[in-house]
Structure 1
């Protein structure tokens, strides 16, 4: 069996409103990004650096990408997603994405990395723009339904999330 590496990432969903008025801040990925340009995605996300907690990574990414200040103590775990590329029978790399939320930040979110992000917009999880990064669309769909399990898998055996 081939040993694989796990790449951890932190996704911070900035939320406002509640119930049917719940909105999440999304970014339109710009032409300068190598992954899914032209797709909508979580506004602040990135790899966890060595020695960094997912909470600190989420706060760092929010500042780098949106210019807002988030206290890691105000970051709330939502879900972990283990994923690989759909249809790959022998994955040598897997991702573990930590989806976190916050409703508390200082500053107004703005595009800070213009090559990687073309726009920011608030969207209801049940009314997403098209297209959305596929694995993030799964998570946002679960959020829209109000039932997000603590752990979700994506891309294994070509099957959906559970």
Structure 2
């Protein structure tokens, strides 16, 4: 999808922004192999994108006039029923998945170790399961660009700005 700039007449592409949060417990990031750290993941279903793959427990598109932090607070409440999530910035990712109508994306990834409420499935039509996994023993079927981030967290090698799919 592209838009035409009304001032210059140039055709510009659209970028879709999204925000993600990985709820973490136990261990310490940076420990060898992420030993002892667990991450909460959801099993996607009926979404039309990477169904039957594990992904961040809460994530979604950033709405107009909404910051990434506001978006993830909203998504965490809507998708897993938690509030007052204390966010730590992990990385921003510019990514593409060629062949989609809108294939340019900018994702903001956060981690959290503090929140209010017990995480639970709130959108059963889109989430088949919600489960804690050891960061050093993730399931095979993880959304690829999220696997990149999770591996970087595990290995303590995640840069503040990343790219995927280029």
Same topology, TM > 0.5: yes
Q: Normalised by the size of structure 1, how large is the TM-score?
A: 0.87
Of residues 119, 130, 136, the one that matches 2:129 is 119
Of residues 25, 31, 35, the one that matches 2:40 is 25
Q: Normalised by the size of structure 2, how large is the TM-score?
A: 0.85
Superposition pairs for residues 144-159 of structure 1, below 5 Å?
A: 144-156=154-166
* Aligned equivalents of 1:57, 1:37: Cα separation in 2: 22
Are 1:40 and 1:129, in contact at CA under 8 Å, matched by a contact in 2?
A: yes
Of residues 79, 100, 106, the one that matches 1:65 is 79
Are 2:15 and 2:102, in contact at CA under 8 Å, matched by a contact in 1?
A: no
| Higher Cα radius of gyration | 2
Superposition pairs for residues 43-54 of structure 1, below 5 Å?
A: 43-54=57-68
SS state at 1:147 partner: coil
Give deviations 1:116-158, integer Å, cap 9, x for gaps. 00011111222111211111111111111111100110001xx
In structure 2, runs of 5+ residues without a counterpart are 1-9, 29-34
Q: What is aligned with 2:92?
A: 80
Give deviations 1:32-55, integer Å, cap 9, x for gaps. 211111000000000011111111
Give the structure with the larger strand fraction. Answer: 2
Aligned residues: 150
Of residues 143, 157, 162, the one that matches 1:133 is 143
**Alpha-carbon deviation of 1:79?**
0.3
Moved over 4 A (4+): none
SS state at 1:59 partner: helix
* Aligned equivalents of 1:130, 1:141: Cα separation in 2: 12
In structure 1, runs of 5+ residues without a counterpart are 157-162
Give the structure with the larger helix fraction. Answer: 1
